[in-house]
Amino acid sequence: MIALEVKNLTKRFDKILAVDDVSFEVPEGSIFGLIGRNGAGKTTTIRMMMNIYLPDKGEVTLRGSRVGQEFKNRVGYLPEERGLYKKMKVLDTLLYFAEIKGKSGKEVEKKAVEYLKRFELYDRRMSKIEDLSKGNQQKIQFITTVLHDPDFIILDEPFAGLDPINTNLLKEIILEMKEKGKVIIFSTHLIDYAEKMCDHLAMIDHGKIILKGALIDIKSKFAQRNVSLTYEGDISFLHNNHIVEKINNFGNTTGIRVKEPQYAQQLLRLLVDNNVQVKQFNANDISLYEIFIELAGREDGKEAANVQ
Amino acid sequence: MFNKRVMAVFKREVKERVISKGFIYMTILLPVFMFGIVGIQTYLYTEQSTKYNLIVISETQDLTSRIQDDILSSDLIKENYAFRFYTMSKEQLNNFLNENKKELLDEKITGVIYLPASALNDKKIEYYSKTPHNLKLSEKLSGHINKVLVDAYFNNKQLSQDELNFARQAVNFSGLKVTKEAGFEEEGYGSLVLSYLFTFLLYMSLLMMGQMILQSVIEEKTSKIVEVILSSVSSKELMTGKILGSAATGTLQMIIWLSPVVLVASTTLFALPPDITINVTTIQIVYLIVNFFFGLMIFLGLFATVGSIFDNSQDAQSGLWPVMILIIIPFFIAFSMIQNPNSAIGNAASLFPLANIIVMPARMVIVDVPLWQLFLTILINIATFFAIFPVAGKIYRVGILRTGKKPSWAEVVKWLKYRY
């Protein structure tokens, strides 16, 4: 079942074509990743999904009907650049954000208090936002995203700028929401995060979708003839070997593409014979990052590889 | 247009404004400050504590007895004035001044007024004092002295008492206001004071509320909160809520500011001198507030739009000049009209969109303005609002999500063509 369908979205700013004929489908109950480099068009796509920007062309449909205010009410949105009213009190902030989503009254207030207690911020409920630490402000921002009990959660670069504690907290929230059957859509340039968390994805580069589908399908399609290797020692002898097509070094792991599927066993033997200590050898496995590099080329991809 | 979300934004806006320190200070302190200035002036003017010990010396016996009769029979004696009267020649006067120098310097004697015989030709009299330029004193005494000199001068000329009275009289301007109703109302300075007051209050409030919404838009923009809000409400709803909230706050402030005026005008609790009684009808006050509300909405829309274009206060202040001109020019027109109520520019400006917010209230209290003109300005302002709002809203919509380089005006015009 498709929950949200993005059809032929196009957006141009002056001379820049920010989003170029983008289409993808977000299934019900999925964690969907929109992956691409900085400036690839992720935020613009999300803003069009949220009806913040009007697309030049194309549309976004929610279970068959065009998204509008009703969708906005059912969405929890955490933009990449986050912000709160500095002078507003914590509890007032939470209630205000719920109110503009159409939820107000005792029920919401009770939930707000529950969240504050859970995040150990209950005693700060009357403090002004500006008096909170940055980490605590981030927590408040998470609560505003989910307090109105949205069916959809859209997170734009959710892990950017979070401290490790809040990173885990956010992951916890995301998984909890998934268990409740909510649809979670997030964009990220951190491909490793996406690989660990999402089950469906779309890759966007220079405003165009270069790959989309279920993570498993994508991986199995690209994983043939591929070996993901963790080792100690010297493997430079492989560079001129006739069975190897390509070697990609990603720091901790190395991706090796062999010329024929049956060469994988030979490769392992070769490594052992050459006294390379093999710690991990996954035949027919490929990281999402390798796929991304293969499709989008290297460019500034190195940066993404090193962020773990 | 008016839904729950707009209401939520509206409520937040009002709450934030009304409980802000700036608002409370301005709302309370401005009237206190204004009344304070008026009060201090009045107090200083009517100050009773100083005792005036004056010596009036005339060169001729005749003048001495005349001035003595006149002053002693006047009200001055009841106030803090003490007089002594002498007749002396010029030389005797100099001796007298030398002898009493110490008293004069110690201000035991406030001053010596010398009426030479020549004053009957040129009305020139002399005043010796440590502080000779005492306007209040000369104002109080010049009438008496003039009268005495006139009497003495005409004494041996064959004139009737009526002729004498006429000659003695100073010119008295009575301001008579022409109104539609039968008869003429005698009018004091109250209308002028009221006119200045309205002009000043409206000007202050437009600037203050404008700056507030400008800062608020910039804060939402720079703190990036605007994107979170736009995921719930549309930019139009956000702008509407903000403008309505600020306009309501500004109007509340105006009502608070004007309530003393209403109180003074409609009750006799405050006894004002007859030449500054204020004459303002309830309809005029209600008009002022209603018209201000709609006018304020237009200006707030403009301020919010400017705020949305820029990233920081400095840039925004420098980009604010077109809006400032729209406030400052009517302000000066209103002032010039108070001096010349029938100026053509004033009449035109009192109907002109935006300008009428300041000019019309200033005009309506000094000139009899037909009621239909008042209603017309309200309609003009509402129409102006609906003409400006879509354009301003479009710039706002593009502006609030834009960051980075300070845009040029040409770029801003280009935004209007964007499909956002």
Question: Does pLDDT of B383 surpass 90?
Answer: yes
Is some CB atom of chain A closer than 8 A to the CB atom of B419? yes
Residues in chain B with CB shorter than 8 Å from the CB of A75 are 231
User: Which of B:219-248 have CB within 8 Å of A?
Assistant: 219-220, 223-234
∠ CA B252-B224-B320, rounded to 5°:
55
Q: Taking CA atoms, what residue in A is nearest to B220?
A: A85
Q: Give me the mean pLDDT over the A4-20 stretch.
A: 87
A interface residues, B as partner, C-beta within 8 Å? 14, 47, 50-54, 56, 69, 72-73, 75, 77-79, 81-88, 96-97, 99-102, 104, 141, 144, 154
Assign domain B52-171 to a CATH class.
alpha beta
- What average pLDDT score do residues A241-259 get? 81
Q: How far is CA B2 from CA A90, B10, B420, in A?
A: 27, 10, 21
The widest CA-to-CA distance across chain B, in whole angstroms, is: 97
| Nearest by CB: B232 against A56, A78, A100 | A100
Residue found by looking up tokens 């939470």 in the block: A94
Sequence ranges of the domains in chain B: 4-41+190-415, 52-171
Q: Does residue B171 surpass a pLDDT of 70?
A: no
Q: Could you tell me the pLDDT band of residue B178, with boundaries at 50, 70 and 90?
A: low
The count of CB pairs under 8 A between chains A and B is 71
What angle do the packed helices B21-45 and B190-222 form, to 10 degrees? 160
What are the structural domains of chain A?
2-218 (3.40.50.300), 220-306 (3.30.70)
Q: What is the pLDDT of residue A257?
A: 84
pLDDT band at A299 (very low <50, low <70, confident <90, very high): low
Average pLDDT over residues B73-95: 81
- What does the pLDDT read at residue B260? 79
User: Cβ–Cβ of A54/B16 closer than 8 Å?
Assistant: no
Nearest CB to B225; choose among A53, A72, A85: A85
Nearest-by-Cβ selection for A72 from B224, B231, B420 = B231
Range B93-121 average pLDDT: 84
Q: How confident is the model at residue B29 (pLDDT cuts 50, 70, 90)?
A: confident
Average pLDDT over all residues of chain B: 82
> B226 to chain A: nearest residue by CA?
A83
Q: Does residue B176 have a pLDDT over 70?
A: no
Q: Chain B residue closest to A70 (CA)?
A: B232
Of A42, A73, A92, give the one whose Cα is nearest residue B237.
A73
Q: Find the CB nearest B8 among A51, A96, A144.
A: A96
- Whether the per-residue pLDDT at B249 is higher than 50: the answer is yes
User: Which residue of A52, A72, A142 is the best one to mutate when testing the B interface, meaning the one whose CB has the most B CBs within 10 A?
Assistant: A52
Contact yes or no for B16 and A87 at CB 8 A:
yes
Average pLDDT over residues A110-139: 91
Residues sharing a CB contact under 8 Å with residue B253, sequence separation 6 or more, in sequence order: B23, B26, B27, B205, B209
Instruction: Pick the residue of B217, B231, B419 with the most A CBs within 10 A to test the interface with A by mutation.
Output: B231
Say if the Cβ atoms of A52 and B8 lie within 8 Å.
no
pLDDT at A116: 93
pLDDT > 60? residue A304? no
A219 within 8 A of A286, measured Cβ to Cβ: yes
Q: Tell me the chain A residues in contact with residue B16 when contact means C-beta distances shorter than 8 Å.
A: 85, 87-88
pLDDT at position B274, please?
A: 56
Residue B51 reports pLDDT greater than 50: yes
Chain B nearest-CA residue for A96: B8
pLDDT, tens digit (0-9, with 9 covering 90-100), for A274-290: 888 888 888 877 778 87
* Closest residue in A to B224 (Cα–Cα): A83
d(CA A124, CA A20): 45
Phi, psi torsion values for B2, nearest 5 degrees: -95, 100
**Closest partner residue to A56 among B16, B234, B419, by Cβ?**
B419
DSSP string, A51-116: TSS--SEEEEEETTEE--HHHHHTEEEE-SS----TTSBHHHHHHHHHHTTT--SHHHHHHHHHHH
- Summarize the confidence of residues A176-187 as an average pLDDT: 90
User: Does the pLDDT at position A176 exceed 70?
Assistant: yes
Q: How confident is the model at residue A76 (pLDDT cuts 50, 70, 90)?
A: very high
Q: Is the pLDDT of residue B269 over 90?
A: no
Q: Closest to A81 (Cβ–Cβ): which among B219, B224, B414?
A: B224
Structure confidence at residue B267 (pLDDT): 65
Mean pLDDT over A158-168 rounds to 84
pLDDT band, residue B377 (cuts 50/70/90):
very high
Average pLDDT for residues B206-219, to the nearest whole number? 92
pLDDT category at B187 given cuts 50, 70, 90 is low
Lowest mean pLDDT among A45-49, A104-108, B341-345, B368-372: B341-345
Contacts of B38 (CB under 8 A, 6+ apart): none
Show the tokens assigned to B216.
């608020």
* Confidence at B38, pLDDT banded by 50, 70, 90: low
Of the candidates B8, B9, B230, the beta carbon closest to that of A52 is on B230
| Surface-to-core class of residue A56, CB atoms within 10 Å of its CB (0-12 exposed, 13-18 middle, 19+ buried) | middle
The percent of residues in chain B predicted with pLDDT above 70, rounded, is 86
Cα distances (Å, whole numbers) of residue A195 to A4, A29, A204, A299, B252: 21, 17, 15, 20, 56
Q: Does B18 touch chain A (CB under 8 A)?
A: no
Rounded-to-integer distance, Cα A17 and Cα A19, Å: 6
Best probe of the A interface among B227, B233, B242, B398, by most A CBs < 10 A, is B227
Does the beta-carbon distance from B230 to A73 stay under 8 Å? no
Query: Which ranges constitute the DSSP H helices of B46-134?
Result: 61-72, 90-99, 101-105, 119-122
- Which residues is A61 bridged to in the sheet? A5, A66
C-alpha A37/C-alpha A296 separation (Å) is 10
Phi, psi of A218, deg, nearest 5: -60, -45
| Mean pLDDT of chain A, nearest integer | 85
Residue of chain B minimizing CA distance to A142:
B228
Asked which of A145-159, A206-220, A222-236, B269-283 is least confident by mean pLDDT, the reply is B269-283
